Chains A and B, each alone.
Chain A
């Protein structure tokens, strides 16, 4: 977690003097993403060989759209981590926003209000977190640990855990299709591509890498670090809000509690996807791929009949293997 230290992974070379081939350059720029992608492909091939139903359209739909909300939330998380911060309150936030969304929908507000008002709430809460982190210099893990307690405790004391049912059918957008594709899948792809392009090509996006990777240099080049950090938390709230829309509309009932361990899954997706936890590198494509990898692992282990008791150990081992593979790759590229 140190802001300084030699453990900083090497900055990816953007250009090289030796005019490397396309593959080499791709490997250098998107190495971790490619490893994750490779892992997904290998899993698909191996499991399909055991049970061809694994690549049936239905199963692909379940894998991709059932977990799209994790990928969408991980986009915001990736941006936060790129600036050298972290948000452990995101799971609780999504629980709170889903409850607000469902309550509004049942209370008869227009559907779009029920969808997008929680997004604003998420942005406001995260804006506050960002201000505490940026201007009051409280480490983000402290602020978000506190926010986690406040949101989780607050949700239970307000709702008492009553479930929300009788949701209007039009509200359930995650169950609908768009051009024959499930809405969550489309949302995941569109948001990931837009965010990736924006991170790579906009001045704002590029400045985030500087904020995380080399704050002194960022200050020297005139980047307003504090404003960037607040902005990135607001963005995180925005993506958490969008993730909530997918999360809350997936079933006909909303469980108004904090989803267990959701923050760990989202952080892990952002991290495994190649966003170094030290900040300053990584892409949002990687985090989305990692979210897909988790979903694939979860489904695959059921398909290949891994003893349910050993399921989590195998998941842990696969994650560790991915991390170590990345570290070995980084060493080789230096």
Chain B
């Protein structure tokens, strides 16, 4: 193993994460406890699911800004289908996830069939889907779910928060797909050179369509988990989550220009952000200080990895 391949972004990030964990647990003895770390896992699941799907999207050189709005729309529909239309809750949740997935599919259609750049297309649907959520909900919340529903967002399975299992499974499956399957290779190929990918006979449009649909699906699943965690629905749920997810993906070393990135990196980026948010708060730093620090870490981490990489190629 040469030095160059060793100093990959993920390794660098892992070192940074360990360093952060060490410093933070030295600052507060309540930080590095199993209970606290598992609880942090609970809090980062929704962003995590979205970020994992976003890794694929960004690796193709695209972006999906509408995920927060899809989350809001799915959350609202879960409640409305169940309460107002009288559909049984499991069916309501599945139907709402189907609509959320469909919203992602519509993004994909606009991007692939109409050749609208992803940023513009999803910027427009960000407004549209949020608007639909507001319109459907008429600004009302749906509350009073049955107890079993809260297992998903507030319960535990084998001592670990339920949704953390979902996140783990999603991360492993996604990592395998991206690294070892034809689909993953097509994703990278589109990101590095779309023209070449098309000439090599890869299904560029089909893959992109599938990825945006998957992004919608991830946001929709995150929505149901979110509803279960906070036990209510609101049309403003998930606003701004797209920036959190993109921050995690980019911090994780996925190139915004496409062609490079791993799920492992995204998960590391996610953990680093969550550890900073939680650890700094426990160490007595206020929320606004934490926001600033995360901004600085984002820039410095990407800067450092850019410098390492350049020195490696010399």
Give B115 Cβ to nearest chain A Cβ, in Å.
6
For B302, what are the chain A residues with a Cβ–Cβ distance below 8 Å? 138-139, 142
> Is A149's CB under 8 angstroms from B120's CB?
no
With most chain A CB atoms within 10 A of its CB, the pick from B125, B250, B294, B299 is: B299
Q: Verify if A55 is at the interface (C-beta below 8 Å from B).
A: no
> Is A1's CB under 8 angstroms from B198's CB?
no
> Is B134's CB under 8 angstroms from A1's CB?
no
For B188, what are the chain A residues with a Cβ–Cβ distance below 8 Å? none
User: Contact mask B276-297 → A, CB, 8 Å, 1/0?
Assistant: 0000000000111111111110
User: Contact mask B122-144 → A, CB, 8 Å, 1/0?
Assistant: 01111111111011011100000
For A315, what are the chain B residues with a Cβ–Cβ distance below 8 Å? 127, 131
Q: Verify if A219 is at the interface (C-beta below 8 Å from B).
A: no
Q: Verify if A7 is at the interface (C-beta below 8 Å from B).
A: yes
Q: List 28 A-B contacts (CB under 8 A).
A: A2-B258, A5-B61, A5-B195, A7-B117, A7-B194, A86-B119, A132-B299, A145-B243, A145-B298, A146-B298, A147-B299, A153-B287, A154-B292, A268-B124, A276-B117, A277-B120, A278-B117, A310-B134, A310-B135, A312-B134, A313-B131, A316-B128, A316-B129, A316-B130, A316-B132, A319-B128, A320-B128, A323-B120
Taking residues whose C-beta sits less than 8 angstroms from the other chain, chain B's interface range is: 35 or more
Give B208 Cβ to nearest chain A Cβ, in Å.
10
> Is A324's CB under 8 angstroms from B114's CB?
yes
Q: Verify if A193 is at the interface (C-beta below 8 Å from B).
A: no
> Is B298's CB under 8 angstroms from A142's CB?
yes
For B291, what are the chain A residues with a Cβ–Cβ distance below 8 Å? 149-150, 152-153
> Is A323's CB under 8 angstroms from B116's CB?
yes
* C-alpha spacing A154/B292, complex, angstroms: 6
The residue on A at minimum CB distance from B289 is A157
For A3, what are the chain B residues with a Cβ–Cβ distance below 8 Å? 257
Q: Verify if A136 is at the interface (C-beta below 8 Å from B).
A: yes
Q: Which of B138, B288, B299 contacts A143 (CB 8 A)?
A: B299
Contacts A7-B194, A157-B292 given; does A132 touch B303 at CB 8 Å:
yes
> Is A267's CB under 8 angstroms from B123's CB?
yes
For B193, what are the chain A residues with a Cβ–Cβ distance below 8 Å? 4-5
> Is B298's CB under 8 angstroms from A271's CB?
no
Give A77 Cβ to nearest chain B Cβ, in Å.
13
* C-alpha spacing A4/B255, complex, angstroms: 14
For A310, what are the chain B residues with a Cβ–Cβ distance below 8 Å? 131, 134-135
Interface residues of B in 262-314 (CB under 8 A from A): 286-296, 298-299, 302-303, 306-307, 310
* C-alpha spacing A329/B179, complex, angstroms: 39
Q: Verify if A148 is at the interface (C-beta below 8 Å from B).
A: yes
